[in-house]
Amino acid sequence: MIISANKNIVNLFCKLFFKNEKSYINAYSLYHLLKNFYKYNKNGK
């Protein structure tokens, strides 16, 4: 459930950012930041 919720959050951010094509790089870097954040959280537990 937590993993699917995280995916939904990432999808939500991407939808918001991809509305403006200029924000593609921001969305891409944000996705990697979130991915790394959740990876470290998973390792921390």
Is 41's pLDDT higher than 50? yes
pLDDT tens, residue by residue, 8-39? 777 777 777 666 555 566 667 778 888 887 77
For residues 38 and 43, the model is more confident at 38
Cα 35-11-31 angle, rounded to 5 deg: 30
For residues 42 and 37, the model is more confident at 37
Instruction: Please tell me the predicted confidence (pLDDT) of residue 1.
Output: 44
> Of the candidates 8, 4, 3, 15, which has an alpha carbon nearest to the alpha carbon of residue 39?
3
